[in-house]
Structure formats: structure tokens, C-alpha cells
Amino acid sequence: MTRRKITLVVLIAAAAVAAGAITAAALINADVSVELPVLMYHHLDDTGDDVVTISGELFEEQMKYLGENGYTTVSFDELVDYVSGDLKELPEKPVAIVFDDGYESNYKIAFPILQKYSCKATICVIGSCIGKDTYKDTGVPMLPYLTWDEAKEMYDSGLVKIGSHTYDMHQYAPLESGTARESVQPLPGESEADFAEAIRADHNKLSALIKEKLGCEVSVFAYPNGKYSPLSEKLIRSLGVRATLTTRVGMNHIRRGDPESLYLLRRYSINETTDLETFQSYLDGKIPKN
């Protein structure tokens, strides 16, 4: 390439970066991009009769389907190592499985199925709910959540990692006392500094608990109700979280050398209406119509 041509390429590249279209790292590693569908689950029961619930039977069909169709479930630790360059390759057709909230059904129903098909998953727990089956302020019954012993057993299996869905920023206002924080957003009238401190304190509380109970760091964070902002994202990243999960829908492109590509990941919500045809369309990155 002549010097003039090189200058032109550099200028075009710089313009693209300046325009925010792509990051510098992505530019260097544009050829090393891996498609990653992330599947989002919540609760499991016998019937899957709820928008965020799936039956054990269908969940098992889906896990079986992944193996039979060449997909490999991956953990966020592997993804972090891939973007940092510590892991040279991801398996063929990687897919990430995430459970939000941390219900006990993840242990009782999903875990035996994950073991049967050697599938990896991440459970993003709500720290304040662990081991509970009633709302802490009002005593009203709620779905039972995992205990620490159950989380530890799953973590020790090597198949399940534990992530954050906040310690207590995923409240349900009608059944809490005082001002409830239902997602990672400022309360009415809250200053930016107070909001930042609230996030830091909440995150540190859950991180310390996970460190104490399981001996691991929190590397992945799922936004309660999918609500995030540039500020919340900046704060969460500053606390050492390596991957953040939204409820936006679509395919993700993970790039080696580009840690940014693990933030604000899109996810497909899976429930009892997700038949295998729809399931495959999500694995292909199709956007559902509705």
C-alpha cells in the first residue's frame, strides 16, 4: 500500500471510530466475531402456565435440541476469557443460558436437566431473596427462591455460575414497605451521587455474599426488568462487572480483543410458548414479530 492509501485507510478508520460506529478494538479484530444467542429463562413448573415460566418437559426438549443440533452452552467466564484473548476459541455454535431471579425451581427442575445434557447456565440471583418464600417486609408468600446450599451445589458441579440481578434493587412496590426500588434507576428526586452510592452499596453487598458463600467473583449482571441507562451502565462497569444483560431482543456479536462486546447483551425470553421452531429462529437471531 502506498503511504497515501495507508493514510486514507487510517482516516476512514478514525472517522468510523469517532462516529461511534465501531470501537478501535473491534476494527482490529473485525474478522474475529462470534454470534452468541443468549436465552433468558425464569421459573419452571409442571405446566409453564405463565409468561415467564416453562415446564420441565419443554426445557428438557430444548436442552436436548441444543446438543443434537451442534450448539454448545458457554459460561460468561469463557466469554470474558475469549474477549481478553486468554481463551483462543469458543466452541462451535455457542449459546448462553441465563435464569433471572434465582427461583428454587432452577435447582429442583432445571439443574438435573442441565446435568443430564451437560449444559452450562448462569443464574442471576436477587441477593435479598435467596432462601426466602415470602416478601421480606409484608410476609406475603412468593415463589420460593434458591438457598445458598443449592446455589453452592450447582456452582460446585461446574455447570452453573452465579451472576447478579442486584441484591435488593428488584423490589415489587405493592408488597414492600416504604419506597421500593423496582429496577436500577434513580428514585424520584435522588441525586446522581446518591444513586451511584446506592448501586455501589447494593453490588458490594451481593458480591461479598457470593464471595463468602461460593468463593467466586460476580462477572455478569442482569438488569432487573431490563431497565438500564448510560449512567447505570457506567456505574456497573466501574464495579468490575464484565458482562451486562438486557431484555432487548436479537443476536449478539462477541469480538476477540473487544471487551465492550460483552456489555448490554440482547436476550430471547423463553417460555412454554417457545416451540422448537421458534427456539431455532431465536438461535438464528430472528426477531419475533409482536
Q: How many residues bind Zn ion (CB under 5 A)?
A: 2
Site for Zn ion in 238-267 (CB under 5 A): none
Give me the residue whose beta carbon is nearest to Zn ion: 100
Q: Which C-beta is closer to Zn ion: that of 100 or that of 233?
A: 100
In whole angstroms, the minimum distance from the beta carbon of 20 to Zn ion comes to 30
Q: Distance between CA atoms of 163 and 98, rounded to whole angstroms?
A: 9
In whole angstroms, the minimum distance from the beta carbon of 49 to Zn ion comes to 19
Q: Which C-beta is closer to Zn ion: that of 101 or that of 168?
A: 101
In whole angstroms, the minimum distance from the beta carbon of 10 to Zn ion comes to 45
> Among 60, 101, 104, 272, which residue sits at the site for Zn ion (rule: CB under 5 A)?
101
Q: Which C-beta is closer to Zn ion: that of 160 or that of 184?
A: 184
Whether residue 35 contacts residue 255, with contact meaning beta carbons closer than 8 Å, is answered with: no
- Cell numbers of 228, please? 438500564
In whole angstroms, the minimum distance from the beta carbon of 100 to Zn ion comes to 4
In whole angstroms, the minimum distance from the beta carbon of 99 to Zn ion comes to 10
Which region among 66-74, 100-108, 212-220, 272-280 touches Zn ion (by CB under 5 A)? Answer: 100-108
Q: Which C-beta is closer to Zn ion: that of 99 or that of 282?
A: 99
Is residue 100 involved in binding Zn ion (CB under 5 A)? Answer: yes
In whole angstroms, the minimum distance from the beta carbon of 152 to Zn ion comes to 22
Is residue 272 involved in binding Zn ion (CB under 5 A)? Answer: no
Q: Write down the residue that cell numbers 450447582 correspond to.
A: 154
Q: Distance between CA atoms of 248 and 276, rounded to whole angstroms?
A: 21
Is residue 168 involved in binding Zn ion (CB under 5 A)? Answer: no
- Provide the binding-site residues for Zn ion, judged by CB under 5 A: 100-101
